[in-house]
Structure 1
Amino acid sequence: MFSVLSFSFDALSVAPEQRHPVMCSLARRMAVAEKLQVHDSSVDAYLQECLESMPLDNPYHGQSHVLDVLQFLTTLLSETGLEQAMSPLQISVLVLAAAAHDVDHTGTTNNLLAEQGHEFVEESEEGVGAMESHSARRAEVLIEELLLQNATLQRLVRRTIHGTDLAQHGRILENFHAAIQEREPQEFFQDTEHGVLLMQLLLKAADVSNPARPLQTAKAWNSQIYEEFYAEGDQVLSAGGEPNPLHDRRTNNIPKSSAGFINFHVKGIFVALRDFVSLCKEQGIPGIRPEGVEQVLANLDRNAACFAEEAASQKADGVSVRA
């Protein structure tokens, strides 16, 4: 058995037939059907369609990843108390966006899709990655077909999914840091640009939360993501190109890359969230608990240190690559 609301959750250990029931239980925990005034069965159908739209042959971007992201997001909202501060619409948007954020994922990066002239590139919105643009459009369609017609809900889900585009990482963090210096926390809990920023940051946090899991779970996720990365690298090499260093099984060192990813990408997201949640508590917003983010940051620091130590040990032993 496992605790559904825990940062130690391991989605990879959940049997395929249990993924949908667990996702439904998370949506019920967030009272999404009640907030949207639809039947639970409608939300269940939406989650089922999102899950079944994940290609089974993707090593990383598959059904387990969707469950993992939704579970981490729900836990983060609960542990920080943000579920009580955010509006019912925002909570609904986050759950729906988490479930759909990688619908129809190709198991490759936007760069490769662009090089291949993939149909997702031709359809993508300007300034948004092809994969994120496609998944967001599919989410809008699924919401209308299976849940309800609500242009505001669809727009917010679309924009929240767009925020998972790695190319927008720096802009979102910069804008969020500036906003929390200039605006009152309450403005982030409304249908405003600042509210969108908060939802984007929360989904981004959940999307890259693997390294914050217990070390063995984080390593298991590493195996999945690098299998996918290396498959793309092999494809680029076979076409005569030069792969992204992280995708090159000939030279990449997984522990070293993992420590770098935590320290230079993931931590920044959670530091921004910690700063915001701390500000909310200082402003007297009820139920807010910064320690919910501190726990994640402690896990990240612990795992980064373990990965760095492993990389140093490999270097001392003359091992340069670990595929």
Structure 2
Amino acid sequence: MRSITIVAGIVLAFSPLLVSAQGRMGFALGTHLPNASCKLESDYEADMIAIKKNSGSNLVRMYSSADCECVPKVLAAAKAQGFQVLLGVWPDDKVSMTLDKYAVQTGIDGYLDQVFGVSVGSETMYRKTFTGPQLLEAINDVRAVLPKGVKVGTADSWNKFADGTADAVIKGGVDFLLANGFAYWQAQPITNATRTFFDDIQQALAHIQTVSGSLNAIEFWVGETGWPTDGGTNYGAAIASTKNAQTYYDDAICGILAYGVNTFVFEAFDEPQKPAAIGDSGAEGDERHWGVMTSDRTPKFPLTC
């Protein structure tokens, strides 16, 4: 294991909450090639081979299951390569909800061992698309069409789990919750990024455990975290660079994994075809250079923790 710089005060906050085993790591994965065409099964296999070879991980996270008809292709690739996949349903409007739900319902037959679970929504409470009760209704709607035993949950910004917005979801019987945390999008300098990230995730986890009344009734994950590399845009004091991305990976991502927190890294590969993202201040930020590997699957720095 590489040397990890730990922020002492924040780590102490995790200590009574978590087991000592290493957390599991996964990677966010897109559905398109750099030329914007849809990935084929062989492309997903190549992605998975690169991820496992360079990081040891065998888990990826998807978003919209209807996008590029990805479910049968990515699950077939996962079966061939010994991976699991967190599938996604985008419930923000009736059309996407219907299409994604159908894609999952019809696409997982024969691949249940490859399905890690289904995440219904990605930051829907953060964007104020849904209230907690409305999101829970969407989650239960999706759960109703899935085989028994398939885990169902949601992903949202860490602060929506910490401030009570998600309490109905926490109390509603979900199997897992994914808290997204980006010190970069909070305009933090790299020198304070790990502290900020650890503090954010600790707040989310502590509130989930308090509301659920259990330390482990709900499986907890960091749903997304990462840092942009060379070619990305700066965001306030957060400077995009491969050097800073490596520091964040070593200290924040490997650090929180070492304390038993399961974590999805955003993201596996650069996506040069993507549009700009919008940060907390409303300013645009580049999302084309967030990969820990280039779009041709070359690692930018060592990825084993």
Structure-2-length-normalised TM-score: 0.30
Greater strand proportion: 2
Structure-1-length-normalised TM-score: 0.29
Find the structure with the greater CA-based Rg: 1
Greater helix proportion: 1
